[in-house]
Structure 1
Amino acid sequence: SDWGREEGPDAVAVYRRLATHCTTHGWNLPPLDAFLRRTRRELSKAAIERARKGALAVMDTVPHQTRTVAGIAPLDIINGDGREHDVMVHLPSGRTGRPRVWMWQDIRTRRILSWRAGETESADLVRTSLHDLITRWGVPGRVVVDSTRAASAKWMTGGQKNRRRWKSSGEELPGIFKMLEIDYRVTAIDTDAGGRGKGRGRSKPVERAFLDLSKQIDTHPLMAGAYTGRSTQDRPETHRTRVASWEDFIQVVERCVIEHNARTGRRTEAAAGRSFDAVWAAEYSATVVRKLTPRQAGILLLAAEPSRVDRSGCVRIKAGKGAGLPGNRYHHETLVDRAGEKVTVRFDPADLHSGVQVYDKAGRWICHAPCLMPVGFNDAAAAKEYEAARKKRRKAAEAELAAHRDMDALVAAMRDLPPAEEPEDPKAAAVGLVTVPAAAGDLSGQAPAPRKKFMAALRRFNQQED
């Protein structure tokens, strides 16, 4: 039991602890080799792996599954993943860190179709890289990713049933995969004895491409001195001696991806000794692909949020909202007539002040609403423009109303109406008499007699007058 624990204790240490107990109780202790031979004889290899290395290790004793790509055309299935590179780079935000790269790879030909680099693995990184792929090559039939938050964001997977993340609601906006009818699939996750999940890297061929590309990119001559090593035990002596520029990193990634696709002698099922570029060029030219118009493809660059038009014709979005601060407001005259209506607001997350595109529930475009920027409290020019806009709106409404309303004709029509006549009063079917009850204590129905004290006081008053 001591030796068969997940911590994997050394057999010699376990034997010494057992020897201490045997000495105390006077037991005879066989040699260590005898214990090991008996354990291997009575327990299977799978049971020993489960006991000493965990639940995931025993699952890896099953032979790997070989999957064929026969019958799959280019762009039928693509897979994507992100990786944090082990180099220190001056990031666009001004800070220093390790950049992230997201890549999309074709399953059939194993060619890297598009990639984007960023500071973090975000939904924007996934969305923009997918936009590059679709505008250049076409719409894929299926995407295979792991359950990362970036790829499973609602901007991407809204309306999908097999998302495995986030709660879905009936009012959820359709994501890019739903709008473009792309089948979204998530790789399986293995769970260890502690309930912790672990993804299967072997499920996505792009993971194997990263093994090759990461070594080329991170140890490139332009990255010399910026390489950090994969772990603390793998750090070179030149660790952190310099920080590479962002432009150099992008240039290195671009060169390495081009070389990766053009390298000959590939031993995959489709390549058979050719390069990934050669396989792609031969098979893509014989494939029917779905293409988007430039305006349709532009939607991929826009994130979406549901919003409700307020009484002044403004919509708000949560993107760009700071802690305790209201979100940006966007307004257009057309939205005034849609006050209280729920709409879909599409915007560029990188430029929230350039305005938003507003769509109705059916996906029909309504208008482009510019952003209402805050102004200074004492800004007289801004106040003047605001007042002029209010007056202009009032005049426009009055002119529109005057074109449809003729008050003189309305008054003349009212005067030509015949005088109003009231209908005859209806008569009741019968009339009942009303009986007034007598005062309390007086059964004769006559007025009650004056009180004695009052009469006595009246007599005294009369006597004084005489």
Structure 2
Amino acid sequence: RQHGVSASSIYNWFKLTDGVERADWLPALAPRHVGRTTTTECSPEAWEFIKSAYLRLERPTWESCYDLLVLVAREKGWTVPSSRTLRRRLETDIPPAVVVLTRQGVEAVKRMFPALERDRSVFHALEAVNMDGHRWDVFVRWPDGEVCRPNMVAIQDLYSGMFLSWRVDKSENREAVRLTIGDMVEEYGIPDHMYLDNGRGFASKWITGGTPTRYRFKVRDDEPSGLLTQLGVEVHWTTPYSGQSKPIERAFKDFCERIATHPAFHGAWTGNSVANKPENCGSRAVPLDEFLRIVGQGIALHNAKPGRRTRTAAGRSLLETFETSYAEAPIRKATAEQKRLWLLAAEEVTCRAPDGAIHLMDNRFWDEALHRFIGQKVVVRFDPQALHDGVHVYRRDGAYVGFVECQHAVGFNDVAAAQEQARRRRRWMRATKEAAALERTLQPDELAALLPEFEKAEPPETKIARPIFDGSAAVKVMPERDEDEDPFMRSFSAGVVNLFEKR
């Protein structure tokens, strides 16, 4: 009584421990309640109906589904228990993951499976990076007057989480991707690995051409090598919209909360969904220069914020974490030839006959080195803002051919230009003739003198003679007479000939 235990309970404990070793008394005394084991009668058709009605993506309430079941059961004569009884049976018999899948969809049930924890401390600074695009929830006015939500392409270091480079454009395109990669390589160096999804801008042949697993667009064996391929970067394709595969998407969420809602963007913020659309949405568009300034400040603050709790940062900022590892890591730097790969746009063109000239954007480019590629495709890299300065020509495998100047068009009656062109042509012809003279050291008469003389061969003697026919009768061929032939044989042969002629 003092401990609130009845005598019958004590006697029950004695029964449970009777014949049991003292060391096993505790598990023997543990409760064995299994809950209710009896079930109320329910028609199988009613059970199937309530499951099918409730387990739908429209997510109807349980009571609305039960009301429908009652209506149908009256017509069909089914036995239906109470609503709470059926609800308990559903919770007992149907796995929770199945309920989430059928009522909330695939993405919701994916979150019920624990994500793989990736340890980024296996890298050093700039050894591996991830790249992705982000569409800002801010209306921006561009210099041409167009108002739209800009797209940003950014690269994040995987070891530290620091943002290395970024570019903003109206869309996620290969030019923005190329320049973003160039900014990173120019300032920090070349990474060994890059993780990105197969978006149109990233999977372009000019970025990842030659990668064996580029599962977008038509992959050909003779396609030109892309920027990352020529820089020796190993490309890893990830699942789109997967924060576990690309940590940069988690950082983009911080940008939505801290940069997109900046006070300077008042009236230009669109909200991250239709439900979160503010009342003043669209009342203002931020000028592009102001938008880039605020975004640059926000990314710098993101990198410099102390107290990061990642395994590599350990309380430091992303910037400090990167700089500490970067100072001790082996970093690959780009050469002057490699810098042309991202500083210039690229196009694949054909060297036209008969001179091998390249025609690009209504401009013509020519150099003597193009003669070897007449009728073949080459890759030209150029600055779109200074196309008349010339282009750099590469073979399709990435080998550098040379710099080719633009052949400017002149007026039809420009005599000075015609004279200058004639002088250039004469100089080129003279140089070509001199080169030919150096290569051709023997004159034709010297070549003829070196050739051996051959005696005329006797024709072979035939063993079989074919008769000559004139119409339907054969022309008589008189056999040659041998002076030593026997007179009898000569007469016999003449008689045989006469006999055939009479027939």
Instruction: Give TM class, smaller chain.
Output: 0.7 to 0.9
Match of 1:278 in 2: 320
Match of 1:112 in 2: 163
Map 1:31-42; keep pairs closer than 5 Å: 31-42=82-93
Match of 1:366 in 2: 401
Contact 2:153 2:166 in 1 (8 A): yes
CA, structure 1 residues 352+72, in 2 after alignment: closer, same or farther (shift >3 Å)?
A: same
Contact 1:114 1:130 in 2 (8 A): yes
Unaligned runs of 5+ in 2: 1-51, 474-503
Are positions 1:231 and 2:273 aligned together?
A: yes
Which amino acid in structure 1 is aligned with residue 179 of structure 2?
A: T
Are positions 1:393 and 2:444 aligned together?
A: no
CA, structure 1 residues 366+269, in 2 after alignment: closer, same or farther (shift >3 Å)?
A: same
1:346 to 381, 391, 415: 381
Match of 2:28 in 1: none
**What is the deviation of 1:176?**
1.9
2:356 to 296, 299, 313: 313
Map 1:406-445; keep pairs closer than 5 Å: 437=470
Contact 2:225 2:397 in 1 (8 A): no
Match of 2:302 in 1: 260
User: Taking structure 1 as the reference length, what is the TM-score of the superposition?
Assistant: 0.79
**What is the deviation of 1:316?**
4.6
Which amino acid in structure 1 is aligned with residue 391 of structure 2?
A: V
CA, structure 1 residues 350+21, in 2 after alignment: closer, same or farther (shift >3 Å)?
A: farther
Runs of 4+ in structure 1 off by over 6 angstroms are 409-417, 430-436
CA, structure 1 residues 202+337, in 2 after alignment: closer, same or farther (shift >3 Å)?
A: closer
CA, structure 1 residues 384+18, in 2 after alignment: closer, same or farther (shift >3 Å)?
A: farther
Unaligned runs of 5+ in 1: 189-197, 321-326, 441-466
Identity percentage of aligned residues: 31
CA distance in 1, matches of 2:169, 2:117: 34
CA distance in 1, matches of 2:318, 2:469: 112
Contact 2:345 2:382 in 1 (8 A): yes
Q: Which one is further off, 19-28 or 72-81?
A: 19-28
Contact 1:187 1:199 in 2 (8 A): no
Match of 2:370 in 1: 335
CA, structure 1 residues 383+38, in 2 after alignment: closer, same or farther (shift >3 Å)?
A: farther
CA distance in 1, matches of 2:464, 2:75: 119
Which amino acid in structure 2 is aligned with residue 369 of structure 1?
A: V
Which amino acid in structure 2 is aligned with residue 86 of structure 1?
A: D
Are positions 1:202 and 2:261 aligned together?
A: no
SS of residue paired to 1:81: strand
**What is the deviation of 1:99?**
0.6
Q: Which one is further off, 139-148 or 308-317?
A: 308-317
Which amino acid in structure 1 is aligned with residue 297 of structure 2?
A: R
**What is the deviation of 1:207?**
1.2
SS of residue paired to 2:286: coil
User: Taking structure 2 as the reference length, what is the TM-score of the superposition?
Assistant: 0.73
**What is the deviation of 1:97?**
0.4
How many residues end up aligned between the 2 structures? Answer: 419
2:191 to 125, 136, 140: 140
SS of residue paired to 2:210: coil
Q: Which one is further off, 391-400 or 127-136?
A: 391-400
Q: CA RMSD in A?
A: 3.5
Which amino acid in structure 2 is aligned with residue 234 of structure 1?
A: N
Contact 1:91 1:99 in 2 (8 A): no
Contact 1:103 1:129 in 2 (8 A): yes
**What is the deviation of 1:37?**
1.7
Map 1:21-40; keep pairs closer than 5 Å: 21-40=72-91
CA distance in 2, matches of 1:270, 1:436: 105
CA, structure 1 residues 411+79, in 2 after alignment: closer, same or farther (shift >3 Å)?
A: closer
CA distance in 1, matches of 2:133, 2:464: 94
Contact 2:140 2:288 in 1 (8 A): yes
